[in-house]
Chain A
Amino acid sequence: MEFKTDNSPFTGSTSNIGSVMRQVLYALIPGVLVMFYFYGWGVLINIVLAIIIAVSFEVLSLWLRKRPIKPFLADYSAIVTACLFALSIPPLAPWWILMVGLFFAIVIAKHLYGGLGYNPFNPAMVGFAVLIVSFPLEMTQWIRPEFSNGLMPSLTDSLRIVFNGFESLYSLNQWDAVTMATPLDDMKTELKSGHYFSEVIRTNGYGFVSGKAWELVSLAYLGGGLWLLYKGIINWRIPVSLLLTLAIVAIIVGWLEPDTKQSSLFHLFSGATMLGAFFIATDPVSASTTPRGQLFYGASIGFFIYVIRTWGNYPDAVAFSVLIMNMSVPMIDYFTQPRVFGAKSGGK
């Protein structure tokens, strides 16, 4: 009688990458719904288009790299990248924005570096960074969330805007009225021109702590993120250290220069903070993996978000902060190895 002889252990758990990634997708659902409520069909068009484009690039890259296609599609990583990317660009952005961004995300940032598991940079954020540097206009035209008051473009109109440009429906003036700067952007401009934070926050378009739509969208992402924490898909260290640092830095600076800077709650509930903290900075491939390293990594991202938002040229800073820290990961991981069992602790 002959038996199989591969090595121990002979038993394993049933989890796989695909199931991990699927749970990340489920956790995005509340955020997507809230965004859909405020920004309409553009959100869903972005997601569907992004998935189609990302999967096509993924298949193409795998085929060119002569890798098996089925197992690598079943890992859902391209779809997660597509969704995160789609949620960070303006709804009703022209279709080629998605093409360009996802080309950089999937082909350049992921597959040229060796595919799943080998990319030093977060693919979705590489795509986003390329776009915000190259096409700042298209990337900052968010439609007014007031469109939810029955004025939201219909599905067909949305598709026409995405594929034919807004000119097919609106004149330039009208389009300017339809779109607006994001609260992050708007607040920055207002503060620069000498207004006080407490003043601006009471104006139209702002809610309790930040933009009317954004605070709810952020809340929904926070909920999804907490669910991921509960399920053990992500670890608390990166999101908590990121959010805490961002809040603390904002409190300190706000205390030094009262009312001339955004409040810490404004920072936490604006832009991509929550999405970044729970869904982007936690991307395991490009993040630090040691416990202490993760705390440092998350805290540094939080710090850079504040610095770039406050003194930089860009309204939001999650993408750049994440990319900066992605670069530092190998060094962070090397210097933050945990004490192994039986090793003497530092003092002894």
Chain B
Amino acid sequence: MSNKRKFWTFHGGVHPEFQKEQSTTQPISPIKLPKRLIIPVQQHIGAPTEVLVSTGDTVYKGQLIAKMADGQLGAPIHAPSSGMIGKIEKQTVPSASALNALCIELELDGKDDWGESQLEPYPDFARIDNETLVKRIEEAGLVGLGGAAFPSHVKIGSSAKHGIETLVINAAECEPYISCDDLLMRERTDELITGIRILLQLLKPQQCLVGIEDNKPEAISTMQRATKSLDNVHICAIPTLYPSGGEKQLIKILTGKEVPTGGIPLDLNVLCHNVATSYALYKAVVKGEPLISRILTITGDGVKQPQNIEALIGTPISDLIAQVGGYTSQAQRLIMGGPMMGIPLKNDNSPMVKASNCFLVASITSLQQAHSIHASQPQMPCIRCGQCMQVCPAKLLPQQLYWHTQAKDFERVTEHNLNSCIECGCCDFVCPSHIPLVSYFRFAKSEIRAQDVAVKKSDLSRERHDFLEFRKEREKQERDEKRQKHKEALQKKKAAMAAKKKATGEKEADDPKAAAIKAALARAKAKKTERARKKD
């Protein structure tokens, strides 16, 4: 309720030009049905879904079209509108890797017909038990809408079991240009607070802290008014500083606690949820609508009317751009996300996905604050000035990481805790030598991963080889042993026989049979010699 709370600070951070006002002058523009949707079968962290439809099928709005295999991490996918399934093939999706991924095309019939597909609404959610609510979150395909797209039911389910102290609602929105959470808080206040109340019911935290950067005064006052009746929900106006919206940074600001390296917020009995996710949660529970649309920002000097719009998941970016009046002559760059951590896109053929919070279309000069840094100023050597270290929110030494990455000394890079790097881009932002540090660190991370995989592989094959050798050796040994045994047995037998012979030899004379043979042999010999004499 009160905003006179104590806040903590995280190390470093930067103040880029936030440029939020570009897209906040107009209200959220409602959904405009495109002709065709392109729906990637994987829009979350985890495994891809299994497609349940085939080309030519008609589907209703909200119909399940792809589901997770049992036991796999992920979230199901629903048809955002009614229509006919088109091609199911690999297409470009907006991702950092720029690789193609399996997508379901959906030709819309324009009726936007739910049919029987809507889930049962729970307007009186207070009567619904936790298990049913978590199941609803799962079947509605909810993922974190802040960007990482982690399946929500897993996060909420495990926290509900574990029990938490503090629920943090991330509404900091620290990335420049993006304003969808700001507008959401201003316009859909009651709905998203209902979402928060559902979370409170599920998780029973002692307190709920909503972190909003203080450059959004309207959203802050709206939220404060709307949460007056909720005793344990506090709207926290935190100082504007990039990257205060990073999960670990926000938790530090609001609670003073640091999520341990390699750990998760739950280790501190904290759960952090994006504000847009709680709005989606409201829709899933109270309205029975799966996650088929979201609010996102289309902005930058590259589009004619920068604004926030609500759009169906799978809408091609070109349609979104058309909805805000099309491109201007300044459209040089297309970015999904913001200018600090966004993903560059080559063209607008790919669709928006659950994690798309912003498409930024801008000229290079407008992004780079008058001077066109990376474009016109050459990269210079690192002079170890340490400005990167001073702004690093993870308290790393980017200058040392860069040095060792250049030398490809990945062991040293790991020793300097590269895995704690959140790729926020602060180091790049301040570097007077204009070194693309984050790109170096991404490279180092992928190299280390590849090395780890290679090491594991070689370990495995060495193990296999060693086992093969061992087996060969063992077989040989067994064979030898067998042979040895056989030999011994034979020898024993021989010895036994010899002993027997010896024993019997003494009695030879008495043996009539042996005497007869001896006599016969003697006769034959005599005969032979006689025959030889005759020949002579």
Residues of chain A having any CB pair with chain B under 8 Å? 1-17, 19-20, 68, 71-72, 75, 77, 115-118, 235, 284-285, 287, 289-290, 333, 337-344
Contact = CB atoms under 8 A, between A and B. Distances in A.
A20 B432 contact: yes
A8 B369 CA distance: 15
A84 B348 CA distance: 54
Nearest to A341: B394
B396 A340 contact: yes
A139 B258 CA distance: 56
A2 B344 CA distance: 11
Interface string B331-367: 1111101011111111110000000000000101001
Given A3-B346, A117-B384, 18 more contacts: A2-B346, A5-B344, A7-B442, A8-B337, A8-B341, A8-B342, A10-B344, A11-B369, A12-B431, A14-B369, A17-B433, A20-B432, A72-B380, A235-B386, A287-B384, A333-B400, A341-B252, A341-B258
A284 B383 contact: yes
B342 A1 contact: no
Interface string B426-453: 0011111110101100100000000000
B11 A116 contact: no
Nearest to A336: B397
Contact of B428 (A12, A15, A287, A340): A12
A-B complex: 5 closest residue pairs judged by Cβ atoms: A117-B381, A9-B425, A12-B373, A5-B344, A342-B261
Nearest to A344: B260
B399 interface: yes
B314 interface: no
Contacts, number: 174
B16 interface: yes
A2 B384 contact: no
Nearest to B362: A10
Chain B interface secondary structure, helix, strand, loop or mixed?
loop
B258 A290 contact: no
B332 A11 contact: no
Contact of B393 (A11, A118, A341): A341
B17 interface: yes
B383 A7 contact: no
Contacts of A285: 383-384
B266 to A, nearest CB: 14
B383 to A, nearest CB: 5
A340 B370 CA distance: 34
B395 A338 contact: yes
Given A12-B431, A340-B420, A342-B420, A3 B176 contact: no
B397 A117 contact: no
A20 B431 CA distance: 11
Nearest to B398: A289
Interface band, chain B: 35 or more
B248 interface: yes
30 contacts: A1-B347, A3-B334, A3-B345, A7-B436, A7-B438, A7-B439, A8-B339, A9-B429, A10-B344, A10-B368, A11-B17, A11-B339, A11-B373, A13-B430, A15-B387, A16-B434, A72-B380, A116-B383, A117-B380, A284-B383, A284-B386, A285-B384, A289-B384, A289-B386, A289-B399, A337-B400, A337-B416, A340-B394, A343-B261, A343-B417
A337 B369 contact: no
Nearest to A286: B384
A332 to B, nearest CB: 12
Nearest to B176: A11
Given A4-B333, A284-B384, A338-B397, A11 B346 contact: no
Contacts of B98: 5
B71 interface: no
Contact of B395 (A16, A68, A340): A340
Contacts of B262: 342
Contact of B425 (A8, A20, A77): A8
A9 B438 contact: yes
B72 interface: no
A9 B341 contact: yes
Nearest to A72: B380
A17 B395 CA distance: 23
B428 A9 contact: yes
B150 to A, nearest CB: 18
B376 to A, nearest CB: 11
B165 to A, nearest CB: 18
Contact of A19 (B252, B341, B432): B432
Nearest to B373: A12
A289 B400 contact: yes
A340 B385 CA distance: 19
Contacts of B364: 4
B259 interface: yes
A321 B17 CA distance: 43
B377 A16 contact: yes
B462 interface: no
B385 A20 contact: yes
Interface string B192-235: 00000000000000000000000000000000000000000000
Given A10-B367, A11-B369, A20-B432, A71 B438 contact: no
Given A12-B434, A14-B371, A341 B327 contact: no
Contacts of A339: 395
B356 to A, nearest CB: 15
A1 B327 contact: yes
B512 interface: no
A17 B344 contact: no
B10 A341 contact: yes
Contacts of B10: 341
Contacts of B368: 10-12
Interface core residue of B176, B260, B369, B382 (most chain A CB under 10 Å): B382
Contacts of A75: 380
B30 interface: no
B374 interface: yes
A4 B364 CA distance: 9
Interface core residue of A5, A11, A13 (most chain B CB under 10 Å): A11
A145 to B, nearest CB: 35
B389 interface: yes
Given A117-B383, A289-B389, A10 B342 contact: yes
B418 to A, nearest CB: 10
A39 to B, nearest CB: 31
Nearest to A338: B395
Given A10-B367, A341-B10, A115 B400 contact: no
Interface in B393-418: 393-397, 399-400, 416-417
Contact of A11 (B340, B386, B395): B340
Given A8-B438, A340-B261, A341-B420, A13 B331 contact: no
